[in-house]
Chain A
Amino acid sequence: MNGLLQQDLNQETFILNLGPQHPATHGVLRVKLEMDGEYIVKAEPVLGYIHRMHEKMGENRTWVKFLPNCGRMDYLSALSYNHGYVAAVERAAGIEVPERAEYLRVITVELNRISSHLLWFGAFVLDLGGFTPLLYAFDDREQILDLLESVTGSRLTYCYFRFGGVYNDIDDSFITGTRELIKRLRKRMPMYDALVTKNIILIKRLKDIGPISKDMARRYGATGPVARGSGINFDVRKDEPYSVYPEFDFDVPVYEEGDSMARYMVRMDEIEQSMRIIEQALDKLPEGEIKPKKAVKLVKPEKGDYYYAVEAARGSFGVRLVSDGTNTAYRLKLRSPTYSNLSLFDEASRGMLLPDALALMGSLDLVIPEIDR
């Protein structure tokens, strides 16, 4: 007998299992959708398919040994996670960072942010059924990865920052390469604009689709482009300045509409702002050391409770350290942005059609290993 007929014929709704293996979830996210026809009644994200206990690992290895884990949470903006953890430990242990190292951190993190947004751009349009922009975006991203590889030694899961500085200094070829990259990207962005952003089909698929109100974004603790697309002017780089960000002149793109298009525009504008930051950082780049003269050998923060937040590509990434004065953390809590951003999916997607809900999900820019940690 037919499998569909075996179900209770009186039921009004049915359950659709979106994932854990589904092209639109970009990883092993599973969303249990209660559907009425093609309308979503309830969406329940089921997490944990790629849980690796990063927080627990942080509690039973030394401060230094946890460093490589940071690059494996959000693999698309790994350097921001490096930054968050390293800076939190520096704050706890009172380690000074030379200025040049801070500049290098900003430059590499912003490059990483651009590459993350480019990949999101491609994957998002892929979610909407447009295949080609993905490969164009990867073409640009490749150049960034080459640059980052030349200085950090890896292409995806970076472990570049050290307590008190960075591991490797940049050279002239990196500087000229980065300037050329920015020149190239400035030429490419109008092309993306003409090819994708102004495409009538894309506009119709994104405008007024998946609205997230200011209130909803606040209630769920959404940060990053999701919050800024809903009119919340919050960027950790501006509001809780860290590193050398106060020295740069850049804008925080904020859109009031709260729909998928607003989130799209925020990210596209952020690419330009990141390029501005990199340009200024390259101009102002001070000479000097990139790590403390006396190497930091033993990290033992004072007893206490510390918090440090950075603006990752997907929002505010916070590290809360509880130290009991030994060489391992007593408690390490990682606040990852997409976890909060995903949690509003249920409320935001109610009553939406499946393809619209997938456009909404894509516009949240989910990275599953970062949700599960």
Chain B
Amino acid sequence: MPEPFRVILFVIFAMAFAGLNAAYLVWCERKGAAHVQRRIGPKEVGPYGLLQPIADGIKLMTKQLFLPKGADPILFMVAPLMVMVPAIMSFCVIPFSETFVAAEINLGLLMIFAFASVNVLGLLLGAWGSANKYAVIAAARTVSQNVAYEIPMLITVITMVMVTNTMNLNEIVRSQAGWFFHWHIFRLDISLLMPVSFLIFFVCSLAETNRAPFDMAEAESELIAGVYTEYPGMGFGVFFMGEYANIVIGAALAVILFLGGWQSPIPFSPEGFLGVFWGLFWFLIKLYALIFIVIWIRWTYPRTQFYQLLNLSWKVLIPISLFNLILTALQIKIFPWL
């Protein structure tokens, strides 16, 4: 297939994947929450409530787009897109399978983090644009939270780049080929603190995507709906989809960096076309397992207090990740044959 068509096709796929994921992750979240809470969850619309997300989408789309008094119309409308669009862009470099990737660029990892930083700007502008005190409080929290958690996250990523010697996501996955103990999370020979790195990365990605127990952007029992307080209809819907797309990106990165990406746990892969699906299958299994843990955490723990959140980052995660960076560097330099 000629290159431009392939990319366009893949962008369409990425958008569809992001949209469907957002819709059906909401369904999974509601069903998962229901099971945690010994309820049934959505069941009326379609079998097992499977059409519920579509009904919700139609409901959100038919709602009036209401501009609150004193709001900044441009910022108010643009902000949801600033959360959604970068997330979709990030899908373009994620290798779903060895050959199933829109653009295998050498700076894939950098690109994802560049786009991920736009997310918080969208939340800040949306809150400011909606001229609501609760929203502004939430936005102030979100910004300082994101700044705090980006640091340990990036330090951990730098550690991984040091280990793999590349920023190409597909190369990172290829370097983990073989049995499951070749995945980075189990490679204690590269860095003794590898599982800790994974944990730091996972916690940071929870905080970056504003998920419980770090959901300061929403904090529904304190700030009504936080940043989203004034958003009606699809404005809120797009924010919501962006949030879920960001969760998928975060989990996908964790899978790629630590859990072997599309590699299967055993060194076996069918040839040709089937191999694409074999990789896709393992990638999605790992991805959704991580997302399930994210949902599970949300429905188990209460929300942290804001200063504890910052303390956790500045006093615990950053020192550990820095120590980890130095330790890994030493281990690579002193025992280069490993």
Contact = CB atoms under 8 A, between A and B. Distances in A.
Nearest to A16: B133
Contacts of A131: 33, 37, 299
B133 A2 contact: no
Interface residues of B, number: 36
Q: Which of A14, A355, A356 has the most CB of B within 10 A?
A: A355
A354 B136 CA distance: 14
A199 interface: yes
A199 to B, nearest CB: 7
B38 interface: yes
Contact of A353 (B71, B134, B305): B305
A190 interface: no
A299 interface: no
A191 to B, nearest CB: 12
A129 interface: yes
Interface footprint category on A: 20 to 34
Nearest to A21: B224
B84 interface: no
A139 interface: yes
Nearest to A14: B133
A1 B131 CA distance: 10
Contacts of A127: 221
Contact of B213 (A22, A23, A201): A201
B137 interface: yes
B221 A358 contact: yes
B307 A128 contact: no
Contacts of A355: 219, 222, 303, 305-306
Contacts of A6: 70
A136 B37 contact: yes
Nearest to B71: A3
Contacts of A205: 302, 304-305, 308
A322 to B, nearest CB: 42
A6 B224 CA distance: 23
A95 B210 CA distance: 62
A135 interface: yes
Interface string A1-40: 1111010000000101000001110000000000000100
Given A2-B131, A14-B133, A135-B38, A130 B302 contact: yes
B39 interface: yes
A265 interface: no
Contact of B220 (A23, A135, A353, A354): A23
A129 B220 CA distance: 8
B300 interface: yes
A241 to B, nearest CB: 38
B104 interface: no
B111 to A, nearest CB: 33
B326 to A, nearest CB: 28
Interface string B194-226: 000000000000000000110100011111100
Contacts of B303: 128-130, 201, 355
Interface in B17-62: 33, 36-39
Nearest to A4: B131
Contacts of B301: 130, 199, 201
B142 to A, nearest CB: 13
B300 A38 contact: no
Interface string B65-96: 00001111000000000000000000000000
A247 B143 CA distance: 60
A136 B302 contact: no
A126 interface: yes
Contacts of A38: 137, 140-141, 306
Nearest to A24: B221
Given A16-B133, A129-B221, A135 B305 contact: no
A103 B304 CA distance: 44
A204 interface: yes
A226 to B, nearest CB: 20
A139 B36 CA distance: 13
A126 B72 CA distance: 33
A125 interface: yes
Contacts of A1: 70
A176 interface: no
Contact of B222 (A202, A204, A358): A358
A126 B300 CA distance: 11
A139 B38 contact: yes
Contact of A129 (B39, B72, B215): B215
A204 B38 contact: no
Nearest to A17: B133
Interface in B295-321: 299-308
Interface string A130-172: 1110011001000000000000000000000000000000000
Nearest to A127: B221
Interface string B277-297: 000000000000000000000
A22 B226 CA distance: 12
A3 B69 contact: yes
Nearest to A33: B133
Contacts of A356: 305
A356 B304 CA distance: 11
Contacts of B33: 131-132
A2 B75 CA distance: 11
Contact of B302 (A16, A23, A201, A353): A201
Nearest to A130: B302
27 contacts: A2-B71, A4-B133, A6-B70, A16-B133, A22-B224, A23-B220, A38-B137, A38-B140, A128-B303, A129-B212, A129-B219, A131-B37, A132-B33, A132-B36, A132-B299, A132-B300, A135-B38, A136-B37, A136-B38, A139-B38, A195-B300, A201-B301, A201-B302, A205-B304, A353-B305, A355-B306, A358-B221
Given A1-B70, A130-B301, 13 more contacts: A2-B70, A2-B72, A2-B128, A4-B128, A127-B221, A128-B221, A130-B303, A131-B299, A132-B33, A136-B37, A199-B302, A201-B303, A355-B303
Can you list the 5 inter-chain pairs with the closest CB atoms, starting with the nearest? Answer: A3-B70, A129-B303, A130-B302, A3-B131, A128-B302
Interface of A: 1-4, 6, 14, 16, 22-24, 38, 125-132, 135-136, 139, 195, 199, 201-202, 204-205, 353-356, 358
